[in-house]
Amino acid sequence: MPKIVDRDERRAELAEALWRVVCRDGVAAATVRSVAAEAGWSPGALRHYFATQTELLAFAMEHVIARATERLTARTWTGSIREVVQQLLEELLPLDRQRTREAEVWLILAARTRTDPETGTLMREADDGVRRACASAVGALAGEGLVAPGREPDLETARLHALLDGLTLHALLHPDLMPPERVRALLADHLDGLRHERKP
Amino acid sequence: MPKIVDRDERRAELAEALWRVVCRDGVAAATVRSVAAEAGWSPGALRHYFATQTELLAFAMEHVIARATERLTARTWTGSIREVVQQLLEELLPLDRQRTREAEVWLILAARTRTDPETGTLMREADDGVRRACASAVGALAGEGLVAPGREPDLETARLHALLDGLTLHALLHPDLMPPERVRALLADHLDGLRHERKP
DNA sequence: CTCCTTTTTAGTACGCTGTGCGATAACCGT
DNA sequence: ACGGTTATCGCACAGCGTACTAAAAAGGAG
């Protein structure tokens, strides 16, 4: 009957073209037409696999999530718990060009979230992933006695998450004021600070 | 000779129309045409006062900066230093509708910064203002003995700034997870934490 | 092998955006 | 009154996302 193509494979092929455009010209240049041209198809054809611009950006963001998840699971963790937590959280920060591009996509979608509800659910998933990573980090440190007993894990998780996103933003917007080494130092300083008790 | 109009007054008039649109429909709806229509002029006329979209958004951002500065200077500060610092920093967070709209403009411009260099300089000014406020906060607390002697003021300023921007982002994107009370609580918790020493 | 049905692709069109340009209108000083 | 400068307008253009229709392709039925 119909012409049959592997839909997922096509989407993967388009995703490659999409990410080529993002890496070369930035996420702002990732329009329906430019991605179609990069993949060698017409814009109308691309619309069969990504009906809207939101779906295209959502796919890019899912790509970012998949990459981050892959980095976190595939990596072999060595050293003390404290060192592993630092390394794990650093994987979520824009410390090299690749992750900077990924953070760009994240920022673009964050700005769209306020007007585009569909984007909101995806960003929610992505942020939940980071939040879980923060919770794991706090939990792991607490298990090693590296978090003072008086601290609320929920609060510390939320604070760590806010710090991470703030650092991401500053590393993106003002790389001169917030170079990778400084981001790492601030994260290390924050994690060290969790050890200390809070008295009245 | 020529027809003379008060250029600044016109820009202020347009700024009012601009901000009316932003408050009613969000910053995404603040297009050249919609603002011109709101002000009762043609798009071409608006272009004599704001040559580009960037200038329009920049004016909106300057408006945000002016509002924030005004809030910080006009307010009468009461209570202890610790309380004043909390109140001051809360003025910079999106804790009500007005400041949420302002934060929206900030976020839109942040996303543009990566591709639009002109936007970059303006965002730099805005962020410098927040950074100065953070430095003042840390300095004021240190003057009261509310910052442990072992802490580096630069590091604490940068950390506070990152936390503030992270909280702003989370309050904007996930108001259900980060309602105003929680933002306040996290800020208070962070400021309290500065008191404690860091031992090896 | 032929035709038919369904999917895939191409192309076009519409309304929106920012932006550039030329024509028109309004005004002030001589 | 008039000339020259400025303000204002309206249109045109390219680019965007998106909807829609027509053509092409391909596998199964006869």
Residues in A touching B104 (Cβ below 8 Å):
114
Closest listed residue to residue B159, CA positions, set B135, B178, B128: B135
Residues B85, B191: contact at Cβ < 8 Å?
yes
The single residue listed with the structure tokens 């933003």 is: A169
Q: What is the pLDDT of residue A167?
A: 98
What gap in Å lies between CA A185 and CA A107, rounded to an integer?
23
- For chain B, the first-to-last Cα distance in angstroms comes to 75
Q: Please say if the pLDDT value at position B200 is more than 60.
A: no
Q: How confident is the model at residue A200 (pLDDT cuts 50, 70, 90)?
A: low
Residues A153, A142: contact at Cβ < 8 Å?
yes
Query: What's the token pair of residue B189?
Result: 């918790």
CB-side neighbour CA atoms (13 Å) of A199? 5
Q: Per CA to C1' distance, which residue is closest to C6?
A: A2
Distance from CA of A47 to the nearest CA of B (A): 24
Q: Please say if the pLDDT value at position B127 is more than 90.
A: yes
Q: For residue A9, give every residue at least 6 positions away whose Cβ sits within 8 Å of its Cβ, in sequence order, or none.
A: none
Q: What is the pLDDT of residue A23?
A: 92
Query: What's the token pair of residue B9?
Result: 């007054």
Closest listed residue to residue A157, CA positions, set A177, A173, A137: A137
What gap in Å lies between CA A104 and CA A173, rounded to an integer?
10
State the DSSP string of B84-104.
HHHHHHHTTS--SHHHHHHHH
Radius of gyration, alpha carbons of chain A: 20
Interface of B with A in 30-59 (CB under 8 A): none
Query: Testing the interface with A: which of B182, B189, B194, B195 to mutate, by most A Cβ within 10 A?
Result: B189
Residues in B touching A199 (Cβ below 8 Å):
196
What gap in Å lies between CA B177 and CA B183, rounded to an integer?
10
Q: For residue A197, what is the DSSP state?
A: -
Closest listed residue to residue A75, CA positions, set A58, A95, A89, A63: A89
Indicate the residue of A108, A115, A155 with minimum beta-carbon distance to B26: A115
Strand C at less than 7 A from CB of A149:
no
CB-side neighbour CA atoms (13 Å) of B160? 33
Q: What is the pLDDT of residues A33-85, one digit of tens each?
A: 999 999 999 999 999 999 999 999 999 999 999 999 999 999 999 999 999 99
Q: Cα dist. B73→B67, B77, B82 in Å?
A: 10, 9, 18
Closest listed residue to residue B103, CA positions, set B22, B35, B20: B22
Q: What is the pLDDT of residue A150?
A: 87
Q: What is the pLDDT of residues A120-131, one digit of tens each?
A: 999 999 999 999
Query: Testing the interface with A: which of B23, B107, B132, B182 to mutate, by most A Cβ within 10 A?
Result: B107
**Cβ pair B28:A115 closer than 8 A:** yes
Average pLDDT of chain A is 94
| A152-161 average pLDDT score | 97
Residue of A nearest to B167 (CA): A162
Strand D at less than 7 A from CB of B48:
yes
| B16-35 average pLDDT score | 94
Q: What is the pLDDT of residue B65?
A: 96
Q: What is the pLDDT of residues B60-116, one digit of tens each?
A: 999 999 999 999 999 999 999 999 999 999 999 999 999 999 999 999 999 999 999
Does B114 lie at the interface with A, CB-CB under 8 angstroms?
yes
Residues A93, B96: contact at Cβ < 8 Å?
no
Which amino acid type is present at position A89?
Answer: L
Residue of A nearest to B106 (CA): A111
The alpha helices in A50-149, defined as continuous H runs, are 53-74, 81-90, 97-113, 117-143
**Cβ pair A166:B163 closer than 8 A:** yes
